Amino acid sequence: MNTPYGFKQYVKEIYTGSKSLLIGMRVTFQHLFKPIVTVQYPRQKPVMTPHFRGHIEAIMFDDNKSHHCVACGLCARTCPSHVIKVQGEKTKASDKKYGKKYFIDFTKCSLCGLCVDVCPEKTLKFSNEYELAFLSRWDGVIDIMQRLEESK
């Protein structure tokens, strides 16, 4: 330090230093009695925002109490990672096709959302699922139709 370091400055530094230390201690002491802000995860579950991007899932519509998937396969074709498999079936030849099986290999999904955008029936959305730890690779393959059944 090149500046002259006088006795006055020395005393002033000690004064301001100890004052700011005391202010700091007051801040932490007040924090000691504030309510905690962390979520106790396995005991408490956080509420996800509506825009959270989990894996995709089918939307339940009120008119037929089911999804509107027609198994057109646009989602499977547009998927950059090729993780979607859709199978549909017709009950008779003149009927519309109806989605029966819908699998997504979530371990390879990049959550780009192209499938949601491209769906002509608007029956896909991002779920709020955030507990995505799996024990094997096959656990990462999600059966979306089964999920819809379970949510009924």
Q: Which residues bind another protein (CB under 8 A)?
A: 10, 14, 21, 24-25, 27-29, 31-38, 40
Q: Which is nearer to another protein, 46 or 50 (CB)?
A: 46
Could you tell me whether strands 124-126 and 84-89 are parallel, antiparallel, or unpaired per DSSP bridges? Answer: unpaired
Sheet containing 98-105, strands listed edge to edge, beginning at the edge strand earlier in sequence: 84-89, 98-105, 141-143
- What is the smallest separation between the CB atom of 37 and another protein, expressed in angstroms? 5
- What is the smallest separation between the CB atom of 101 and another protein, expressed in angstroms? 42
Q: Which amino acid is at 12?
A: K
Q: Which is nearer to another protein, 35 or 50 (CB)?
A: 35
Tell me which residue of 51, 125, 116, 43 sits closest to 79, measured CA to CA.
Answer: 116
- What is the smallest separation between the CB atom of 6 and another protein, expressed in angstroms? 14
